[in-house]
């Protein structure tokens, strides 16, 4: 099943695009939850596929490009006014180096009222590489992010 077909299953697919030379499919969802201290979260999941070796520079640049795309295309309430933006950048590829793995396992980029979450899906080993611990900033959103990443990447393992 293609990335686009996976994203169309939940009717939240919005477009195919290219970010930093990598073809991508984009999913967008807007949710409001009282448990998030009455905030609206506008979440973009951008999945790119590459044949290049996945090193730290590639995933970092891809994640940054996905974050910029998410901020530019946010259709929700303005950031910071009971609203935030989530950018989950999933890069599918093989030949993943250790520095790229560490970058995803310990994300350190912080943004005002926004989340930049780099994820690698190692196609060779059918393994998801993502944060190991929820950061303190925005910790109330991370159960949602974890569940969302697992639901989407789980469809690629089948």
Burial string for 131-150 (b: 16+ CB within 10 Å, else e) reads beeeeeebeebbebbeebbe
d(CA 23, CA 25): 7
Strand partners, 120: 91, 129
Mean pLDDT by 10 residues, the chain (158 residues): 77 90 96 90 96 97 98 86 93 95 87 92 95 83 94 85
Question: Taking the domains of the chain in order of start, what are their residue ranges?
Answer: 3-157
- State the pLDDT at residue 28: 94
CA 88 from chain center: how many Å? 1
- State the pLDDT at residue 1: 67
Cβ neighbours, 10 Å, residue 114:
20
């Amino acid at each position: 099943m293609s990335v686009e077909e996976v994203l169309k299953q939940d009717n939240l697919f919005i477009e195919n695009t290219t970010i930093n030379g990598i073809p991508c499919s984009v999913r967008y969802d807007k949710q409001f939850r009282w448990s998030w201290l009455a905030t609206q979260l506008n979440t973009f999941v951008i999945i790119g596929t590459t044949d290049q070796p996945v090193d730290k520079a590639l995933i970092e640049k891809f994640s940054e490009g996905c974050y910029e795309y998410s901020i530019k295309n946010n259709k929700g309430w303005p950031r910071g006014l009971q609203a935030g933006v989530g950018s989950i950048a999933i890069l599918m590829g093989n030949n993943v180096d250790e520095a790229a793995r560490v970058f995803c396992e310990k994300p350190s980029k912080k943004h005002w009222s926004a989340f930049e979450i780099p994820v690698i899906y190692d196609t060779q080993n059918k393994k998801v590489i993502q944060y190991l611990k929820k950061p303190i900033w925005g910790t109330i959103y991370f159960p949602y992010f974890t569940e969302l990443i697992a639901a989407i990447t789980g469809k690629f393992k089948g």
